[in-house]
Amino acid sequence: MKLNIDIKTPSSQAWIDAVMDDFPSFLQDHADCERKASAMAMSFVAKYPDRVKILPDLIDTGIEELEHFKQVYDLMQSRGIPLTHSIGEDPYVVQLLKLCHSGRNERFLDRLLIASVVETREQKDSVWFLKHRKILKCTGSTRFYGQVKPNMVICL
């Protein structure tokens, strides 16, 4: 089952300023996040094939995130922005993963929750762009970020 998660805290002005000052880096980071989200969904499929009830949702999520990656990649290509070879670690995700339980079932639930939180955070930042399309005119990206949908996450 998929449900929306709403975030009550708006994006900070410092974050918005940083994005607008270096939009190519933002696009690279966005592409990395989409790659990681797709890989994580498919990692769940590979590691937990016994979770038959949610496998279709996990597969659909992996495909959806890969499609999002393709959209960001196409936007980057249209602007002459290369895709980076390596994907950097997210310090807050590393710290959250350290808190995961060690039991198979508990770890699965912890990792699924972390994936949902990370995706929700990413979506929150994208939604900001929907609300501020006038600012995006300087980036030429209003069409892409106008397609962003409210976040969907898998809940058990």
Condensed to tens digits (0 to 9), the pLDDT of residues 5-41 reads 666 676 777 877 887 788 888 888 888 888 888 999 9
Domain 13-84+91-154 class, CATH top level: mainly alpha
154, β-bridge pairs: 2
pLDDT band at 92 (very low <50, low <70, confident <90, very high): confident
Tell me, what's the pLDDT at 126? Answer: 57
Could you tell me if 35 and 87 are in contact, meaning their C-beta atoms sit under 8 angstroms apart?
yes
Confidence (pTM): 0.74
Cβ count within 10 A of residue 154: 19
CA distance 129 to 82: 22
Condensed to tens digits (0 to 9), the pLDDT of residues 114-144 reads 888 777 766 655 555 545 444 454 455 545 5
The contacts of residue 114 (CB under 8 Å, 6+ apart) are: 93, 96, 97, 100
Tell me, what's the pLDDT at 33? Answer: 85
